Amino acid sequence: MTIEKINDVLSNMQNLESKFKLISQDVSDGYNYEKDQGSVGMKVEIFDIGESDTFLKVVSNTDSYGDNEAVVKLQFVKANVKTVIEYI
């Protein structure tokens, strides 16, 4: 991935959904709701940034009131394909 592509991906973090396809989202229970003191809600989103086998992972959290959403981690990740065998 080139420096120009990295800068393009990171240039506008507030509108990622309009720039890239959201392919996965995992949101903890009570993400936008009040929780016990000290508890945080967590959201993990994976975006297809148009690079072969490279995706952007954005981890956000909220405070115990369910407010003040903040990005706490950004990672460029690769897909890990797993084979699952189910016996019926």
- Write out the DSSP string of 11-30: S-GGGHHHHSEEEEEEE-TT
- How far is residue 32 from each of residues 39, 40, 43, 55, 78, measured CA to CA in Å? 12, 10, 10, 25, 29
| Tens-binned pLDDT, residue by residue, of the chain (88 aa) | 889 988 988 888 888 888 899 999 988 876 666 666 667 778 899 999 988 889 999 998 887 776 778 889 999 999 888 898 999 8
Domain count, the chain: 1
Express as a percent the part of the chain with pLDDT over 90.
28
Q: Which two tokens stand for residue 81?
A: 């394909």
pTM: 0.78
| 14, part of any domain | yes
| 38, part of any domain | yes
| 71, part of any domain | yes
Q: How far is the C-alpha of 73 from the C-alpha of 71, rounded, in Å?
A: 6
| 84, part of any domain | no
| 83, part of any domain | no
| 86, part of any domain | no
Range of the domain at 64: 3-77
